[in-house]
Chains A and B, each alone.
Chain A
Amino acid sequence: MSELPLSATADAALQAAPATKARGYWATVGRRIMRDKVSMACALVLLLIFLSAILAPWLGLEDPYKGSMIRRLRHIGTTGYPLGTDELGRDMLARLIYGGRLSLVIGILPVILAFCIGTSLGIIAGYVGGKLNTAIMRTVDVFYAFPSVLLAIAISGALGAGILNSIVALTIVFVPQITRVAESVTTGVRNMDFVEAARASGAGAFTIMRVHILGNVLGAIFVYATSLISVSMILAAGLSFLGLGTKPPEPEWGLMLNTLRTAIYVNPWVAALPGAMIFAVSICFNLLSDGLRSAMDIRN
């Protein structure tokens, strides 16, 4: 799958200058990203998709579960059904908007969970070092021996179909990747003078990690994590597409794409719509993440 070459991302992450002047730095980053047209356009598209998913019940849409045998697979632009109907005669517009609710949760939640777990593991491994570092990082290496698509499908396939299982599977896929980045940036910060000074003045390991390390590495790890959301969206919908995620009749983009596959000979463009939603979210997150990375690279 689309793993970015790790060394390149980690390098870029390391270059994201340390937050020595916390407020000034983030204010600058914010100003820089506001000026980036591509990032702002992506943010706007994502905002629209998120808002419509959250507000779906109040938008006056058709019932996304209610089908009808006499109006199956209507074309895009049919009166009353602007985006047509699916193989069971359900309104596509309503299903695409409602579908965002589950699709976004199962795509983004694994990255958030992996961000929390991976950051903790990586900072502990990087700061404590020694045997603990070896134990954590060698375990991470084992997961790197699997291509991420294979790992996600293997875990999800073994656990069985279900939303919870696919979230667990994807979290397991991303934790090692985030742990590696977190460990490498922490190792870079650990021996800096201000950490040495904190240690000399008697601060405990936990305090140093929380106060002095976390603030300096979080930005870099965060940017890396945002670049994973795109992959996670594609994989989460992919698991549903294979039948390993949610079950019918639940509206979810990957599952909709799967059930509409049989309709490509009748009404191909309606069948392709759910994939366009996944693509839109995935490319917007990718571009936004790129924009954030270059906004944080203030030296250029």
Chain B
Amino acid sequence: MLAYIARRIVYVVPIVISVALVCFLLVHITPGDPLVAVLPADASQELAAQLRAAYGFDRPLPVQFGLWLLRALHGDLGNSIATGRPVLAEVMRAVGNTVTLAIAAAIIGFTMGVLLGLIAGYFRETWVDKVATSFAIAGVSVPHYWLGMLLVIIFSVQLNWLPAVGAGPSGSNSWAWDWAHLKYLVLPAITTSVIPMGIVTRTVRALTGDILSQDFVEALRAKGLHERGVFRHVIKNAAPTALAVMGLQLGYMLGGSILIETVFSWPGSGFLLNSAIFQRDLPLLQGTILILALFFVFLNLLVDIAQAAIDPRIKRG
């Protein structure tokens, strides 16, 4: 097992370096001078040159990348051009909110997905299956930012039950697990959960069908096990794959929350990314994308290792 983990970690190193390279190059495909946001419009040539030297933009690209990577390894992703604060601190504060949202959505999406998938797989080709499958297809086809708007229209505008935007009552600076804060989480979490719900439903439905058609199920029934017992075996066999799919979905939710966070003004990493793009705050843009991509790579690694721990066949592959 340790050998497998070590092998997997070694394999991740080049990926991490390439991810860093892509994030670094992002700033350099940007049209225009990266200093345009800080430089006054009437700045003299000398001032521009001075700033360029101060930011290191006058060095050759590979040198810039090396220096940037070295600083990043020490946790220094530069300072935000808009606020002047360190990028890493800004991103980590926002990521906390995104993680809260993603975990809430994961719990809803996974529970619903497993439930619908099991029912659909067990009652395959009946109307129950058709309803559950339609839910799953709608979940993966709906533009989630629009679903968020619809939920706001129904539950905030029409019924006035839940707040439309924000992450806590006014005056509250940090997240807390009480109803005053939780009611801000309900709509964004439901909106975020529909995609994992759809994907988990599809996966679990297919798994359930496969497992039920295997010989050992026949044997269990033949020896007189009641249907509830058979069901337990199905769940046991489907769990590792379903959990792995959910693990990957968690990564997608962390990185893909920008649209939902924009709809709900949820102060997470996606919201930060949005403001970085529109203020042309390139260090912040670069840093946010790097951190989110690293989270994603790390989650993939965890899922692989967890799967290998559950299923010993994977290690040999």
Q: Assess whether B57 is interfacial by the CB under 8 Å rule.
A: no
- B38 to chain A minimum Cβ distance, whole angstroms, is 18
Q: Assess whether A157 is interfacial by the CB under 8 Å rule.
A: yes
- A5 engages B203 (CB within 8 Å): yes
**Known interface pairs A155-B26, A230-B140, A275-B150; A147-B31 also in contact (CB < 8 Å):** no
Q: Assess whether A279 is interfacial by the CB under 8 Å rule.
A: yes
Dominant secondary structure of chain A at its interface with chain B? helix
**Known interface pairs A2-B195, A154-B289; A257-B30 also in contact (CB < 8 Å):** no
- A128 to chain B minimum Cβ distance, whole angstroms, is 22
Q: Assess whether A55 is interfacial by the CB under 8 Å rule.
A: no
- B259 engages A241 (CB within 8 Å): yes
- A286 engages B252 (CB within 8 Å): no
- B149 engages A272 (CB within 8 Å): yes
Binding site for B on A (CB under 8 A): 1-5, 8, 138, 141-143, 145-150, 153-155, 157-160, 230, 233-234, 237-238, 241-244, 257, 261, 264-265, 268-269, 271-272, 274-276, 278-279, 282-283, 286-287, 290
Q: Assess whether B141 is interfacial by the CB under 8 Å rule.
A: yes
26 residue pairs from A and B, CB less than 8 Å apart:
A1-B195, A1-B252, A2-B140, A5-B199, A8-B203, A145-B19, A145-B300, A147-B251, A147-B254, A147-B256, A149-B259, A150-B258, A157-B277, A158-B30, A160-B30, A233-B143, A234-B141, A238-B259, A257-B145, A272-B149, A278-B143, A279-B143, A282-B143, A283-B138, A286-B137, A286-B141
Give Cα distance in the complex from A141 to B22, angstroms.
12
B27, B137, B141, B245 pick with most chain A CB within 10 angstroms: B141
Give Cα distance in the complex from A275 to B142, angstroms.
9
Contact residues, B252-285 vs A (CB, 8 A):
252, 254-256, 258-259, 262-263, 273-274, 276-278, 285
Interface size on B, residues (CB 8 A): 56
- B207 to chain A minimum Cβ distance, whole angstroms, is 10
- B251 engages A272 (CB within 8 Å): no
Chain A residues closer than 8 Å to B263, beta-carbon distance: 261
Q: Assess whether B187 is interfacial by the CB under 8 Å rule.
A: no
> Mask for B130-172, Cβ within 8 A of A = 1, else 0?
0000000110111111110110110001100000000000000
Given A147-B255, A238-B143, A257-B145, 16 extra CB contacts under 8 A? A1-B252, A3-B252, A4-B202, A142-B18, A142-B22, A145-B18, A145-B19, A147-B251, A149-B252, A154-B26, A157-B277, A158-B26, A230-B140, A242-B262, A261-B263, A290-B137
Chain B residues closer than 8 Å to A275, beta-carbon distance: 143, 145-147, 149-150
Which residue of chain B lies nearest to A160 when distances are taken between CB atoms in the complex? B31
- B100 to chain A minimum Cβ distance, whole angstroms, is 18
Chain B residues closer than 8 Å to A268, beta-carbon distance: 153, 157-158
> Mask for B11-52, Cβ within 8 A of A = 1, else 0?
000110011001100110111000000000000000000000
Of B114-122, B178-186, B219-227, B290-298, the segment with at least 4 beta carbons within 8 Å of chain A is B290-298
- B18 engages A153 (CB within 8 Å): no
**Known interface pairs A230-B140, A268-B153; A158-B262 also in contact (CB < 8 Å):** no
- A264 engages B153 (CB within 8 Å): yes
Task: Tell me how many residue pairs across A and B have CB atoms closer than 8 Å.
Answer: 149
- A5 engages B153 (CB within 8 Å): no
**Known interface pairs A147-B251, A147-B252, A268-B158; A159-B30 also in contact (CB < 8 Å):** yes
- B141 engages A282 (CB within 8 Å): yes
Which residue of chain A lies nearest to B153 when distances are taken between CB atoms in the complex? A268
Chain B residues closer than 8 Å to A276, beta-carbon distance: 146
- A241 engages B140 (CB within 8 Å): no
- A145 engages B258 (CB within 8 Å): no
Give Cα distance in the complex from A57 to B228, angstroms.
61
Q: Assess whether B198 is interfacial by the CB under 8 Å rule.
A: yes
The 8 nearest A-B residue pairs measured at CB: A275-B146, A147-B255, A149-B256, A157-B277, A283-B141, A150-B255, A268-B153, A142-B18
